[in-house]
């Protein structure tokens, strides 16, 4: 196979072992100052700045807290060198950017001097040890019971749904929970840049991209997999994130009968998510007419859900139902289902 297929037990309390990821047990031997934060399930993100200061983010709070951590620059460099060596990814002054994944699904991004001075900068986005359901999100206050019922109805109608928001707004967690509403007799195909979703569905195929191949490996992009997915007879296609020219291929898949799918996209509001999707599709084909693309989007995207990171935690703040596109006014038409 040209891409990794990951089978996940959705009810497992332990994160899955992922292909093309670093051995967590080995890495932890070099990350002892971070172990208390890594083992704390309420901590979602850990960052280290080039001045040696460390901070962490908890799930229920908005701002970061400073951590009392002493992690020497040499030890951190050794940790990242071992990590990059395991994955055959160069990381040094000549290759100063590192994006990697641990076997528990956690992601590490690092920057090497001279890009950051005087030292290394690191971000660890932790993968949750358990799968959050819609009932969990109700408990967190992300959605209300009534709104969850509305979202279930939208999925049941077979509507194509975009989940929009900024980084760390809870888009992937919400998408993951909403897949529980997909009928059991439907076939789902998942495509992700970095495996994050745990979908509780028996008829499921999950693909992960290979964007930075080494040692003669074939590069497999998001767009490659999306086109390949159509040969797997999916009822629904779920994308980790719509980006770049993938937007154009995604619209093509919708127009060939694969509606009722779900995807995430970065945008600051639900209406702007539609405009961003049009912009991304335009980048793939510069000769395309924006009005035609917007009309196409209005015809195949049924609903946009906006997620936001607030002082009270991650919340769904807006849900709109797309009704059309006004060419004269150059704007999408929609009804607001929910606003907070």
CA distance 84 to 134: 36
* Helix, coil or strand: residue 253: helix
Is it true that the peptide bond before 256 is cis, omega within 30 degrees of 0? no
Q: How many domains does the chain have?
A: 2
Contact (Cβ atoms closer than 8 angstroms) between residue 10 and residue 82:
no
**One domain, residues 47 and 76:** yes
The pLDDT assigned to 60 comes to 65
**One domain, residues 121 and 138:** no
**One domain, residues 139 and 104:** no
Give the domain range for residue 228.
134-339
**One domain, residues 115 and 156:** no
In a domain, 255, yes or no: yes
Q: Which residues contact 280 (CB under 8 A, 6 or more apart)?
A: 242, 243, 244, 245, 246, 247, 248
**One domain, residues 184 and 146:** yes
The pLDDT assigned to 100 comes to 84
**One domain, residues 176 and 142:** yes
Write out pLDDT tens, residues 76-126. 999 899 888 888 888 999 999 998 887 777 889 999 999 999 999 999 988
Contact (Cβ atoms closer than 8 angstroms) between residue 319 and residue 338:
yes
**One domain, residues 160 and 228:** yes
CA distance 159 to 162: 10
- pLDDT under 50: residue ranges of the chain: 1-19
**One domain, residues 211 and 159:** yes
Residue that the structure tokens 């993100």 belong to? 45
Give φ, ψ of 206 to 5 degrees.
Answer: -115, 130
**One domain, residues 177 and 245:** yes
**One domain, residues 112 and 148:** no
For the CA atoms of the chain, what is the radius of gyration?
Answer: 21
The pLDDT assigned to 224 comes to 84
In a domain, 146, yes or no: yes
**One domain, residues 116 and 152:** no
DSSP 98: E
Q: Indicate the pTM of the whole model.
A: 0.79
């Amino acid at each position: 196979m040209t891409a990794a297929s990951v089978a996940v037990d959705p009810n497992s309390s332990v994160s899955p072992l992922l292909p093309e990821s670093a051995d967590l047990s080995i890495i932890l031997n070099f990350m002892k100052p971070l172990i208390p934060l890594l083992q704390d399930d309420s901590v979602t993100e850990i960052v280290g700045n080039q001045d040696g200061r460390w901070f962490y983010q908890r799930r229920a709070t908005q701002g970061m807290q400073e951590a009392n951590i002493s992690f020497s620059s040499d030890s951190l460099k050794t940790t990242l060198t071992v990590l990059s060596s395991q994955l055959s990814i160069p990381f040094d002054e000549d290759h100063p950017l590192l994006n990697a994944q641990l076997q528990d699904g956690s992601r590490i991004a690092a920057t090497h001097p001279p890009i950051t001075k005087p030292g290394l900068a690191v971000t660890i986005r932790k993968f949750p040890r358990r799968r959050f359901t819609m009932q969990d999100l109700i408990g967190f206050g992300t959605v209300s019971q009534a709104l969850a019922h509305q979202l279930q109805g939208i999925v049941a109608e077979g509507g194509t749904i975009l989940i929009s928001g900024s980084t760390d707004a809870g888009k992937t967690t919400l998408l993951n929970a909403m897949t529980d509403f997909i009928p059991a007799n439907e076939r789902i195909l998942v495509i992700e840049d970095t495996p994050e979703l745990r979908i509780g569905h028996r008829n499921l195929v999950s693909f992960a991209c290979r964007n930075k191949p080494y040692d003669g490996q074939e590069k497999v992009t998001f767009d490659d997999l999306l086109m390949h997915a159509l040969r797997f007879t999916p009822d629904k296609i779920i994308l980790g994130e719509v980006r770049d020219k993938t937007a154009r291929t995604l619209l093509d898949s919708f127009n060939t009968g694969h509606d009722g799918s779900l995807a995430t996209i970065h945008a600051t509001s639900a209406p702007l998510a539609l405009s961003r999707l049009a912009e991304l599709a335009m980048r793939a084909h510069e000769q395309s007419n924006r009005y035609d693309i917007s009309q196409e989007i209005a015809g195949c995207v049924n609903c946009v859900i906006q997620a936001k990171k607030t002082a009270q935690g991650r919340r769904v703040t807006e849900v709109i139902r797309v009704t059309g596109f006004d060419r004269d006014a150059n704007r999408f038409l929609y009804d607001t289902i929910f606003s907070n």
